[in-house]
Amino acid sequence: QKEVEQDPGPLSVPEGAIVSLNCTYSNSAFQYFMWYRQYSRKGPELLMYTYSSGNKEDGRFTAQVDKSSKYISLFIRDSQPSDSATYLCAMRLFMEYGNKLVFGAGTILRVKS
Amino acid sequence: NAGVMQNPRHLVRRRGQEARLRCSPMKGHSHVYWYRQLPEEGLKFMVYLQKENIIDESGMPKERFSAEFPKEGPSILRIQQVVRGDSAAYFCASSPSGEQYFGPGTRLTVT
């Protein structure tokens, strides 16, 4: 069993739709949760960085963490064709001086105009 | 504030040659991580370094791979005697403490 599970998609939605992207994880020691966006042949770009359970909002993006269920989500409101990319969830343990990230396989999102 | 820089962006090596990948972290960041992304797979951790120290190399293959982050200059990921299976995108990330910021990657092709 992988530590982090993520549906690879592709997920196709029309422009303006609300997108929901999800990851589950098995290691209850994970403390920090991140979402990255990766365009084709580019480096991952940090979108959201959260620590506690609950919601965090930034513009059209909302990250949700449910530690009791070991489940995290990223919601994109009013999706745009420019949101078409691969979305990677990532998480890490708590350590004073940083630690490696464990990534999901990524979900391919396609927003059609 | 320049982001994480990696060079070269593309590298072609024949089997048996050495590949040397460079990473300059963001200004003020003292933590450097290397990840590898194989086609159709997510990113896999390789090694975590601070200046002059390897902190965690649990993701590094036991042979042919090495990494360093000297007191001066960029971090280097070195792959000796490359094989076709080493073809991948190699990403470097830097961090001030928690969140990690990635560079554009080096795409290694072994022919």
Q: Which of 76-105 (B) contact A at CB < 8 A?
A: 91, 93, 95, 97-105
Does the beta-carbon distance from A44 to B102 stay under 8 Å? yes
The answer to whether the CB of A26 falls within 8 A of the CB of A3 is yes
Supply the pLDDT for residue A93: 81
Supply the pLDDT for residue A1: 76
A35 touches chain B (CB under 8 A): no
Q: Enumerate residues 6+ apart whose C-beta is below 8 A from A4.
A: A23, A24, A25, A26, A89, A90, A91, A102, A103, A104
Supply the pLDDT for residue A97: 57
Q: Which of B4, B45, B97 sits opposite A101 (nearest CB)?
A: B45
**Is the backbone peptide bond immediately before A44 cis, with ω within 30 degrees of 0?**
no
Is pLDDT of B96 > 90? Answer: no
Supply the DSSP symbol for B99. S
Rounded to a whole number of angstroms, the distance from the CA of B17 to the nearest CA of chain A is: 24
Q: What is the mean pLDDT of chain B?
A: 94
Mean pLDDT of B21-28: 95
A102 DSSP β-pair partners: A91
The answer to whether the CB of B56 falls within 8 A of the CB of B82 is no
* A70: number of Cβ within 10 Å: 17
More confident residue, A97 or A2: A2
